[in-house]
Chain A
């Protein structure tokens, strides 16, 4: 069975600094997608970034980038130039062609001014 693990329940970063959130996953599939979602207090899940497993190049979206290590089944999120609005809960998620989206336990990110 596929699983997603986030081992950091809480992280904090100083405004304008860089922070990395960790995620590992387990699967026997060769074709899948990985995602990072942001959930602010409004509860609405917002897609931050996604990575197709067959692509070797790491995805980047403005200040957000990932480090995708397929062999190690690792998928970390780097947030550069952190802003107060980045404070939220971040979820790593996995999906394959089963249609099921599997989430990790989440990491609460605090941004200090």
Chain B
């Protein structure tokens, strides 16, 4: 079974440029997460989707970040324009949540996209 697939693995851009990250979750997983991990720190949640609906985007900087999960499968996270402080690893994770269970019981993570903004 394929795991969570993310691309690209690395991205180097100049500040003020746009950038996009793509995530394909594990087949059948209805919940998808985007996390940002700064160097030497733990991941922090940016946005959580249940199917197509963003159910928690309270930590997403909406002035420059946007995300979508069309058809409740793949997801794209975009930054426009990128700033120096956006340099980090962006991790995608997925899980299956049935009624009455917690989505976080078992998360599967991708290998992330390492973004460097120059």
Contact = CB atoms under 8 A, between A and B. Distances in A.
Nearest to A97: B102
A32 to B, nearest CB: 9
The B interface is mostly helix, strand or loop, or mixed, namely mixed
A41 to B, nearest CB: 10
Interface size class of B (residues with CB under 8 A): 20 to 34
A74 interface: no
A42 B107 contact: no
A101 interface: yes
A99 B42 contact: no
Interface in B72-111: 89, 91, 93, 102-107, 109-111
A91 B110 contact: no
Given A44-B111, A100-B56, A33 B43 contact: no
Given A43-B111, A43-B114, A45-B109, A99 B103 contact: yes
Interface of A: 4, 33, 42-47, 50, 91, 93, 95, 97, 99-101, 103-106
Interface of B: 3, 33, 40-45, 48, 55-56, 89, 91, 93, 102-107, 109-112, 114
